[in-house]
Structure 1
Amino acid sequence: MRILLTGIPSYLQRTVADVSGATTVVHRPYFDEVRSKKDLIAQVRKIANTGNYLIGEGAAYSLRAHNVTYLPFWHLVNNRASDDLYEHINHEFDLCVFASANLLRPGYSADLEAEVFGKMKMPIVVMGIGIQRKDGLKENLPAGTLKFLDVLKKKESFFLTRGYFTAEFLREQGMKFVKPTGCPSLYFAPTEMKRSLAALANPGLAEAQKIALGGYLGSVADTIVDAHALLEPDSVATYVVQDEVVAYNLSLPGDDDLPVYDRASGRITGATEYKHSEKWQRKHELLVFFDTNQWRGWVSSRDLCFGRRFHGCIIGMQAGVPGLMIAVDDRMREMLEFIGFPYIEAATWNRETDKRAYLASFLSKIDTQAVIDRYSACEANFRNALGHVGL
């Protein structure tokens, strides 16, 4: 089967130099330099959130048995007026897979998606689609997104959702094939994921000092509070940035050409400014990764991944490192409840005065076999859904 893959990319999109026609993608044999403030911000803007690279990577990996061509979605958008291009695309491919994430949300109108997929005559598989905030979604879904759903309702289309709520919503919108499967990043490294889950039921992890932290620096002080609660005064808190430099006011003062990044270690070496930074009472370092293999390699040296970022924990689990998430919003809850991973509600965690003791107690109560069995069932469900649509 000839598959056109588009939507959220893997980190390999960073090597794309040119795209022409329906099938020609030229890759440079190197990645862009990332050293200056300007370089770093530009690389984050390319993907909006470095955690998205895991979605694109998981989607692409799930299709590896087929003849797959990744065409950047921007190429399809930029050429949407070209009937010749779309005629060629419809001739060259048997099926289109669109790697997606939080597409269903009040603040985003999928006009371009509606226009692009309206020109395609092949079956469309939307993989990983989810809801950002479910309150008021039905009343506030933008017109462009409604059009996008209407376009796909009239085609042979398949929706593999992040969880149950999204699936229910799409069925209510009249979609015929809807299957909750979870995020494709969950199935990129199943052996390592199971090893991670097996290692999580260990109360001793509450004493871990090598923790990969994630959250929303620049917005709230929650991760700083967590670091103080879990780490000894002489330790170093390690925080992995995903989109804070473009979305949460974590700024890098100084000139655009100022060196601020060490690509070998992934460490931000320049000065940073963000809300609540004065609250730190520990030595700390900020890292950011634009290559998922480098990210997994680094995180494999940690004892625990912990925090409020879904993919910031998933990448650690892909490396076999135990990961525990603090659920902060609807999208995290939907994904975590579907896959059955242990998690702590943010409101519960934040009000605990002795966080280390609470964490040890929580970890001691995890039913490892039940968690692994649930994950195995979800992985089989994902493979079965792919098989149903010919993948």
Structure 2
Amino acid sequence: MKRILIRSAQDPQKSYDALESTKKMGGNSGNLLYVNGVSRTLDSKANQLSFGGFKSHTLPDVSDWVNQVNKKYDHYVMPMANSFREGMTESLRGMTEIVRRLDIPVTVVGIGAQATVKSFSSNDFQMASTGGKKKLDNHKTEEHNRVVLEFCAAVLEKSNSIGVRGAFTKQYLVALGINPDKVRVIGCPSLYTWGPNHRIINSRGHSFDGRLEKFNSILPLSMNIDYRLAGIERMIYANLFQYPNITSPSQDSKSARMIITKDEHYELQKVNLGTPVHTKHPMFLRKNVIYYPNPWGWIHDLSKKQFVFGTRLHGNIAGILGGTPAHLLAHDARTMELANFHGIPYTKYDRDNDFLAEDLFKKTNYEKFNDLMPTNFANFIDFLHENNLSTIYDEKGKTKNFDKVIDKLKLIPPIYPM
């Protein structure tokens, strides 16, 4: 039996106290979805899974941690997100040291680059932060690129290929000098959680097409928000006062703790007060903003919504995993490359647009997503096999114990403001 350590902030088969869960999400609960997807896929009889190491690169000395991993495990799997971005240079440097010192295979799954929409269109590969407020200057860009190149080189010494989110990320790595044959575009592993047959369909069993469906303004909706985007308050207020049964999941750890404790966790002079990151916001006072302490409960709750929409990539993916049509408002390279690869319905974010739910609903069509799923999934499994990882789909698609455990975790409800 292969002993696999999966880099994760949480054990996907455990339930955590609400406040504790906010400290075990890597700053954003969306991080848990792609880890959970990889974990379920690898829960085969041939594997013994363990979880941890999410902050190992921050240790003053990684020697003891590396020695323990070398002794206890046969493979280190690193599900990752938009780690090629502004602000991640030092973290990547630390992870590079760990990968170099490990004596076991290392597989990176789903890593991506984050740049502006303009960079995405022009392929100038200038890494940035969410919202495009911070971009690397030329000197820092050179340093960041060097660290990214070193990280990928270290990984490829321990694996046959590196799995990236989309074509933009692959083009970025190839431009740095990485062998294109060693870079596999696999998309986001979160979308493969339920296997190759997951579809978004209507009541008649056909691919969902919002133009053919009836939108009911009093049915429950879910709106996901990234407070860092300029002008996002326009969409927030337009939808808040249009739809009485709208909720908005809080994905960042600080606003999640605000919901749980009713205390302010942001410096209010530094944030957009039109967003629900403070206790005086109408969405907080009216209990529209909520927090899911468990990602399986998040997915299950969204399965009961009519529609999911907004600017959070995994806020929409949670809806898709729940079988609910979702519409992404793409605002940077990472959101656009994944939407394009998977066929997720999307509209470019525009700060001057209200983005009413009903308008987005009518523009939402899942025919492309449904058509692409089997091919994308097969490509994902090929990547895992290429890196000597067996999956539940080598064993008729059945997990050892995973599904029995998460059936209980799905019932954990959201938390509303006190």
- Regarding TM over 0.5, the answer is yes
CA distance in 2, matches of 1:361, 1:75: 42
Question: Residue 291 of structure 1: CA displacement?
Answer: 0.7
Alignment partner of 1:202 is 2:210:
yes
> Does structure 1 conserve the Cα–Cα contact (< 8 Å) formed by 2:8 and 2:54?
no
Counting only pairs closer than 5 Å after superposition, residues 130-169 of structure 1 correspond to structure 2 as 130-133=112-115, 135-137=125-127, 139=142, 141=144, 143-169=146-172
Structure in which a larger fraction of residues adopt strand: 1
The aligned residue for residue 6 of structure 2 is 6
* Amino acid aligned to 2:379: N
Alignment deviations for residues 57-92 of structure 1 (CA, whole Å, 9 cap, x no partner): 01111211232332421575446223xx64564355
> Which residue of 181, 185, 199 maps to 2:186?
181
Letter in 2 for 1:57: N
d(CA) in 2 for partners of 1:154, 1:297: 40
What 5-or-longer segments of structure 1 have no aligned partner?
Answer: 16-29, 253-259, 262-267
Gaps of 5+ in 2: 120-124, 128-140, 390-418
Could you say which residue in structure 2 is the equivalent of 1:245?
A: 254
Pair 219,326 (structure 1): closer, same or farther in 2 beyond 3 Å: closer
Which amino acid is the alignment partner of residue 174 of structure 1? I
Paired residue for 1:214? Answer: 224
1:45, CA displacement in angstroms? 6.1
Question: Which of residues 96, 102, 127 in structure 2 aligns to 1:114?
Answer: 96
Q: Structure 1 residues 43, 293: closer, same or farther in 2, change over 3 A? A: same
Q: Is 2:16 aligned against 1:31? A: yes
Bigger drift between 146-155 and 106-115 goes to: 146-155
Say if 1:140 and 1:105 are closer, same or farther in 2 by CA, change over 3 A. farther
Q: Shift in Å at residue 381 of structure 1?
A: 1.3
State the match for 2:406 in structure 1.
none
Does structure 1 conserve the Cα–Cα contact (< 8 Å) formed by 2:197 and 2:373? no
| Aligned mates of 1:86, 1:354 — CA distance in 2 | 48
Shift of 1:186: 0.6
Q: Alpha-carbon deviation of 1:49? A: 0.2
Is 2:105 aligned against 1:123? Answer: yes
Residue 160 of structure 2 contacts residue 386 of structure 2 at CA under 8 Å; is this kept in 1?
no
Secondary structure class of the residue paired with 1:12: coil
Contact 1:114 1:148 in 2 (8 A): yes
Q: In structure 2, what is the equivalent of residue 344 of structure 1?
A: 347
Superposition TM-score, scaled by structure 2 size: 0.71
1:326 maps to which of 320, 323, 329: 329
What SS class does the counterpart of residue 5 from structure 2 fall into? strand
Residue in 1 that maps onto 2:33: 54
| TM-score normalised over the length of structure 1 | 0.75
**Secondary structure in structure 2 of the residue aligned to 1:185:** helix
The root-mean-square deviation of aligned C-alpha atoms, in Å, is 3.4
Classify 1:220/1:386 alpha carbon distance in 2 versus 1 (closer, same or farther; 3 Å).
same
Shift of 1:179: 0.8
CA 1:289 to 1:334, structure 2 compared with 1: closer, same or farther past 3 Å?
same
3-state SS of 2:288 partner: strand
Measured at CA, do residues 279 and 245 of structure 1 come closer, stay the same or move farther in structure 2, by a change above 3 Å?
closer
Runs (4+) of structure 1 exceeding 6 A deviation are 268-273
Between the two structures, name the one with larger relative contact order (CA 8 Å, sep ≥ 6).
Answer: 2
How many angstroms does 1:283 deviate by?
A: 4.6
Contact 2:107 2:162 in 1 (8 A): yes
Quote the sequence identity (%).
Answer: 21
Contact 1:220–1:276 (8 Å) recurs in 2: no
State how far apart, in whole Å, the 1-side matches of 2:151 and 2:352 are. 42
- Aligned positions of 1:182-331 closer than 5 A: 182-190=187-195, 193-196=198-201, 198=206, 200-203=208-211, 204=213, 206-209=215-218, 210-217=220-227, 220-222=230-232, 225-226=235-236, 228-229=238-239, 232=242, 235-243=244-252, 245=254, 252=258, 260-261=259-260, 275-276=273-274, 283=286, 285-331=288-334
CA contact (8 A) 1:167 1:180 kept: yes
Query: How far did 1:108 drift?
Result: 1.0
Work out whether residues 307 and 313 of structure 1, in 8 Å CA contact, stay in contact via their aligned partners in 2: yes
Residue of 385, 394, 409 corresponding to 1:387: 385
- With over 3 angstroms needed to count, the CA separation of the structure-2 counterparts of 1:311 and 1:383, relative to structure 1, is same
Deviations 1:357-389 (A, max 9, x none): 7435523xx3x4443111221112111222222
Counterpart of 2:2 in structure 1: which amino acid?
R
Deviation at 1:129, TM superposition (A): 0.5
Q: Secondary structure at the match of 1:301?
A: coil
1:182 aligned partner, one-letter code: G
In structure 2, what is the Cα distance between the partners aligned to 1:88 and 1:305? 43
CA contact (8 A) 1:159 1:178 kept: yes
Contact 1:102 1:130 (C-alpha < 8 Å) held by counterparts: yes
For the 8 Å contact 1:49–1:243, the answer to whether it is kept is yes
